[in-house]
Amino acid sequence: MRTEQDTQNLALSGRSHSDDLALTTDDESAEGKQKGLNPRPIIRLVLRNILLLLGPAILCGAGAFALSLSAPRSYEGSFELLVEPITSQGRSTDPSALTREGGRDDTNSIDYPTLLQVLQSPELLKRISAQIRPRYPEVTENSLSREILQKTLVIGRVGTNILDSTRTIQVSYTGSDPEKVKFVLEKFAESYLRFSLEDRKNRIGGGVGFIEDQLPALQQRVNSLEAKVQSLKQRYRLTDPEAEGGALSEQFRDVQAQKLETQQQLTEQVTLYNTLRQQLGLSPEQGLAAAALSQNPRYQDLLNQLEKIDSQIAIKQARFNNESPVVSALIDQQRNIQQLILREAQTTLGMASPNVQTNSRIFAFQDAIRIALIQQLVQAGNSSQAIRARGIEIAQTEAFLDQQLRQFPAIVRQYNDLKQQLDIATRTLNQFLLQRETLRVEAAQKEVPWEVISQPNVLTDAAGKPVASVGKAKMYPILGLGAGLFLGLLLALLLEKIRDIFFNADDIRDAVQFPYLGTIPMDKGVRAISPASSFGGGLKPVLSDKFQDALSALYTDLRFLDSGKSLRSLAIGSTGVGDGKTTIALHLAQTAAAMGQKVLLVDANLRSPQLHSILGVPNDEGLMDLLNHRIEQPEKVIRTTSLDSRLSVLPAGSITPNATKLLAATEMKQLVNRLSGMFDLVIYDTPHLHGLTDTNFLAAATDGILMVVGVKKTKKSAFFKAVEGLKRYRIPVLGIVANHPGKGSAPINTQAEQSDSVYQEHPALFGNLKALRTALPDSAESGDMLR
């Protein structure tokens, strides 16, 4: 559990600014690769496998060419039919056009897709094959259908689109016998001409039959609609619905005008009547009664007498009291006259207005002015009554006309619908009758509708001999060459898949998505390093300037890879054994030391440590002792080398069975930080990544990992798998370096990497050997014995 937690801590906390740089470069490179296809890998693949590509292409092309030479020769012929007149004069003189109304031309009368389907129908092919079979028994309906599918018999319209399409049908036929080709085309032409005449007769006969079937129903519908129209006219007494509707509307407007005028007159008379009645204080009946009394002489005489007696009573009462005989006599006389007046008034009123209610104003004297006003009052009352009666009559007339107007639109609509249906039915019936006569005239025509404008012929040369062609066989060489190239490409891809290596530095540069930091060239001064040829004796390898320049450039690229943070520690890793990571780690450390840096080279390859043997330093104490806390001070186990005074080495130390697990412990991260503070640059030589996770734990604690790829050595599949692992654990990758792309040579290997290969094949045996070596003294003899 502790190891797993330490692993997570290292993977998360070990990221530095270099990690962000590597990931950013990864994203930018991926984005750049997505912008377009890089043709360089394909070109290099083709150049590497040019013989493999050309071999199948030449063989297949030659075979296809030989096949085309032996292919049977074929002959092609054709003829053309004009199925419609092309000029206006021709269309106007066509038998079918002569019988049409006005000789009109229907340019869209033929449905060409349908016509072509009919011309290729099994029924028509059966008739044609029956005419060909007496001379060529092998020709059948099925054989003609197969030839249509195989495009050796083509029936189509001349023209491909609406701009160049014609009224012409072309029939072409291809076969191995020119006489058969011409004979088949002749029979097709005869059959198609016969078909055009029969088709016209069949169409005409079918049209006449259809019309005869439709005529009874059409005639019955016309009669029914005529009866409905007649019934509607009789019910509503219609002659011309549109004119009658206008007259009814005009009459309604006149009645509305009369109604308005009557209302105005009634208002005037009622106003006058009320005014006169208010002035007179009498009703018309009372006014008539008052006028009658005023015109009665006896009544007026009695009134005069009463007036005189009233005067006398007034005079006498001034002299006598009421009990005086004189006054009493006058009062009795007054009473008698009043009774006579009342009796005379009742008699007069009974004759003039028997039912009138009495009113004191009736008995008053009515002068000429009041008599005139009474006359106006009576006239206004009578006029009002007459106007009201006329208004009632007008209202009744208006209601009747309004009802008629409301019903009339529905009646008119019903009438119009029936009339429209009757017109359509009548027009259709007339058209059917006319068309029947037209079709009967057309049926009498004997002229063939279609015309052969290009006679059936086989293609011939200038001498009149049939011209043979190889048909599709002329494409055989091209197809064979293409198939051969495709086969060669498949073989080349298969071979590349089987080899599974990077052939040159360009392959590595185009394949990776990390910074490409350079190429380490082959150098004869660099050989397989072993303890027998170690540097401990003061011997140094003689390296070429080219090799040293490449390492200097690599160190410079690493130094200035991230301008925001100096590089203090890095791990050197590779995918598998033999990629040269230990050699590059050693010479990179030596190069950095030569540039004035204080460098520490750490042998973290705990599975097969060899740096102590190469550099000739003791390995009794080292990295393992620091991780196991057997030694607390790193200075006690760090060794100086004879290569450079500024180059130190930390050997692996005593190897225990669980040594590799210590790389994932917290102590390892702490040690990395401590060593980074003691030296300008710390370089860790790590185990390979193929199938192992040791390097992942260590690299997560450093500033990043430098991947070494061996040209013609590193397996592509293993490399990409290792890169995916680094991405998954978010381990910063500083860059890629290609090792030793020499022609015909193997990559630079150290004996440590060779030992890694042995360890991969026999891990148990190698573990026992390492335990034995730990128990023995560190001497040349023990080293020889172990080897």
Mean pLDDT of the 298-312 span: 79
Cα four-point dihedral sign 432, 433, 435, 436:
positive
Confidence grade of residue 407 (pLDDT, cut at 50, 70, 90): confident
Q: Is the pLDDT of residue 42 over 70?
A: yes
Q: Which percentage of the chain shows pLDDT scores above 70? A: 79
Residue 602 confidence (pLDDT) above 90: yes
- C-alpha span between 47 and 1 (Å, rounded): 53
C-alpha–C-alpha distance, residues 317 and 626, integer Å: 171
Q: What is the pLDDT of residues 95-138, one digit of tens each?
A: 444 445 544 444 446 788 888 898 999 999 999 999 999 999 99
Give the single-character DSSP code of 750.
Answer: B
The overall pTM is greater than 0.75? no
Q: Is residue 483 classed exposed, middle or buried when 0-12, 13-18 and 19+ CB atoms within 10 A define those classes?
A: middle
pLDDT in tens, 751-760: 444 444 444 4
Please tell me the predicted confidence (pLDDT) of residue 678.
Answer: 93
The arithmetic mean of pLDDT across residues 425-444, rounded, is: 82
**Minimum mean pLDDT among 337-346, 651-660, 751-760: which range?**
751-760
Burial (CB < 10 A; 0-12, 13-18, 19+), residue 357, is exposed
**How many whole angstroms separate alpha carbon 53 and alpha carbon 485?**
6
Please report the pLDDT score of residue 667 as a whole number: 87
Worst-scoring range by mean pLDDT, 203-217, 283-297, 722-736, 766-780?
766-780
Q: Which helix (H) or strand (E) holds 154?
A: strand 153-157
Q: What is the pLDDT of residue 132?
A: 93
Q: Facing residues of 640 across strands?
A: 648
Instruction: State residue 356's pLDDT score.
Output: 55
The CA distance from 367 to 389, in Å, is 34
Structure tokens at 496: 């590349």
pLDDT per residue as tens digits for the range 245-266: 788 888 888 988 998 999 998 8
3-state secondary structure of 657: coil
**Phi/psi at 685 (nearest 5 deg)?**
-85, 120
Single out the residue of 610, 532, 598 nearest to residue 568, CA to CA: 598
Residue 655: the pLDDT is 81
Return d(Cα 579, Cα 719) in angstroms, integer. 11
**How many Å apart are CA 752 and CA 614, to the nearest integer?**
9
User: Mean per-residue pLDDT for 301-322?
Assistant: 80
Q: What is the pLDDT of residue 736?
A: 92
User: Cα–chain-centroid distance for residue 471?
Assistant: 44
In the predicted structure, residue 35 carries a pLDDT above the cut 60: no
pLDDT of amino acid 451 = 87
3-state secondary structure 413-443: HHHHHHHHHHHHHHHHHHHHHHHHHHHHHHH
Mean pLDDT of 600-616: 88
Residue 376: exposure state from Cβ atoms within 10 A (0-12, 13-18, ≥19): middle
pLDDT digits (tens, 9 = 90+) for 64-99: 888 877 777 788 899 999 988 765 544 444 544 444
User: 469 in helix, strand or coil?
Assistant: strand
The residue ranking higher by pLDDT, 765 or 641, is 641
Distance CA 779, CA 612 (A): 12
Q: Which pLDDT tens digit goes with each residue over 354-374? A: 555 556 666 666 677 877 887
Of 33-47, 235-249, 304-318, 532-546, least confident by mean pLDDT is: 532-546
